[in-house]
Structure 1
Amino acid sequence: MSDREQIKPTAHELMEMHVEALFTHDRNMRLRTINEPWPGEPPAPRFFLGRTIEGSALCRFRYDVPETLARLLEELCADEPNVKDFQTKPKHFEAYMNLLQSERFTMGPCYLIPDATVPTMEVVSVTRENMTELLRGSFEWLISEIDYAQPCIALVREGRAVSICRSVRITSRAHEAGLETLDEFRGRGYAAEVVAGWAMAVRQIEGIPLYSTLCDNFSSQSVARKSGLSYYGVNFTIT
């Protein structure tokens, strides 16, 4: 049994893994870019706040946010209460938006995929060797990313992938899931199966499988609920 299996991370530790997977950081822990595994470096948001179910909050700022502004934001973050309902905006939402002079934000729940989560249907790994056959029809756009977004797990029907879960943010400690299911195959439980298969594959390479989504993505939240994922907090960003 590995150390990662013996010691379950706290909600705060999971939130740290989450933000480190989402964004690249400089030596001062300032945000630089979105941490996509494939080529390209879109800029990170100016502000990240992670509120946890334990009552702790974690905040990060992009490298170009002035130090005085960052300190003001940090003081407000320290006053954030624990979060239960992921639809609840931060306590200091208006202040964050005003200080950063922005009207654009994102927010959504964050989950850990438990060790006990395993697929009950057959799923397969999508690699360079089998991608042409499995991704034909609707997932051809994944071909250019296949070497980067690993593990990549699919549920196959009639010889082609109809639901896929792959690593879309990767660090040495954790992977974040990216989930896609063809419209005509939704509502059959396939998404939960590939999420479970992907989590197994991530654990096999000593990674921690994380899953996050947005507050208005009800289908993704449904997958998390049906899969029994472990909710640990809410992320909030301002661009």
Structure 2
Amino acid sequence: MSDREEIKPTAHDLMEFHVEALYTHDHNMRLRTINEPWPGEAPAPRFFLGRTIEGTSVIRFRYDVPEMLIDQLESLCADEPIIKDLHTKPKHFDAYMNLLQGERFTMGPCYLVPGELAPTIQVVSITRENMTEFLRGGFEWLTSEIDYAQPCIALVRESRTVSICRSVRITSRAHEAGLETLEEFRGRGYASAVVAG
């Protein structure tokens, strides 16, 4: 294999990168906290189920979930069908919520952004040195996080930041992107530009 060729990760590998970036783990691969770069440690969820388009799943449990409950949840996970629509809830969603006595959940797709991707619209890097110039008119809240969420890339229109992408969960193998576009500027391709940046 030449130096230019890369081994491409499988969808399962990418899901492993994803869960490792989202949460801290103990030596038993049990979830501990949400892996955010700024100070403070919020507890991780009790259960994570990441399904891939390959038909595999990555399952994690928080350190304090009892073994008997883990066994029940793992049995249900083994019966999950291959996903065809990214917006479909798991087959056993209601059973997971009942067993965990869950009140809320999150779900959504996860994407790989290729390293060679380049923005098609000019973007700017936001740092502590230039943040007062760019973080106004909707993104002032980011000033308290700017040192932790780097790199931070913005698209500026009408002398203000309208779309921003920053690293919000970081590991040695992956960065999870936090992406926000002001509502009145959505649907113009700005999010793609800042992600590529």
Alignment of 1:70-149 (within 5 A): 70-149=70-149
Which structure has the highest strand share of the two? Answer: 1
| SS across alignment from 1:111 | coil
Q: Are 1:169 and 2:175 matched, yes or no?
A: no
How far did 1:4 drift?
Answer: 9.8
How far did 1:79 drift?
Answer: 2.6
Alignment of 1:132-211 (within 5 A): 132-197=132-197
Q: Are 1:9 and 2:1 matched, yes or no?
A: no
TM-score, normalised relative to structure 2 = 0.92
Gap runs ≥5 in structure 1: 198-239
> Deviation digits for residues 183-206 of structure 1, max 9, x if unmatched?
232232211111111xxxxxxxxx
> Deviation digits for residues 179-236 of structure 1, max 9, x if unmatched?
1112232232211111111xxxxxxxxxxxxxxxxxxxxxxxxxxxxxxxxxxxxxxx
How far did 1:3 drift?
Answer: 7.5
| SS across alignment from 1:161 | strand
Q: Are 1:65 and 2:65 matched, yes or no?
A: yes
How many residue pairs end up in the alignment? 197
User: Mean Cα displacement is larger for which, 2-11 or 94-103?
Assistant: 2-11
Q: Distance in 1 between matches of 2:79 and 2:5?
A: 32
Q: Distance in 1 between matches of 2:42 and 2:69?
A: 23
| SS across alignment from 1:43 | coil
Q: Which residue of 2 aligns with 1:209?
A: none
**Given residue 180 of structure 1, which amino acid in structure 2 is its aligned partner?**
E
Q: Is the 8 A contact 1:56 1:81 kept in 2?
A: no
Q: Is the 8 A contact 1:179 1:195 kept in 2?
A: yes
| SS across alignment from 1:141 | helix
Q: Distance in 2 between matches of 1:4 and 1:21?
A: 26
| SS across alignment from 1:102 | coil
Q: Are 1:18 and 2:15 matched, yes or no?
A: no
Q: Distance in 2 between matches of 1:84 and 1:43?
A: 31
The percent identity for this pair of structures is: 81
Segments of 4+ in structure 1 off by > 4 A?
2-5
| SS across alignment from 2:148 | coil
Q: Distance in 1 between matches of 2:10 and 2:34?
A: 24
Q: Which residue of 1 aligns with 2:47?
A: 47
More RCO (CA 8 Å, sep 6+)? 1
TM-score, normalised relative to structure 1 = 0.76
Gap runs ≥5 in structure 2: none
| SS across alignment from 2:108 | strand
How far did 1:136 drift?
Answer: 2.4
How far did 1:28 drift?
Answer: 1.1
Q: Is the 8 A contact 1:58 1:77 kept in 2?
A: no
| SS across alignment from 2:55 | coil
Aligned Cα root-mean-square deviation (Å): 2.0
Q: Which residue of 2 aligns with 1:36?
A: 36
How far did 1:95 drift?
Answer: 2.2
Relative to structure 1, the CA distance from residue 84 to residue 115 in structure 2 (aligned partners, 3 Å threshold; closer, same or farther) is farther
Q: Distance in 2 between matches of 1:168 and 1:17?
A: 14
Relative to structure 1, the CA distance from residue 4 to residue 139 in structure 2 (aligned partners, 3 Å threshold; closer, same or farther) is farther
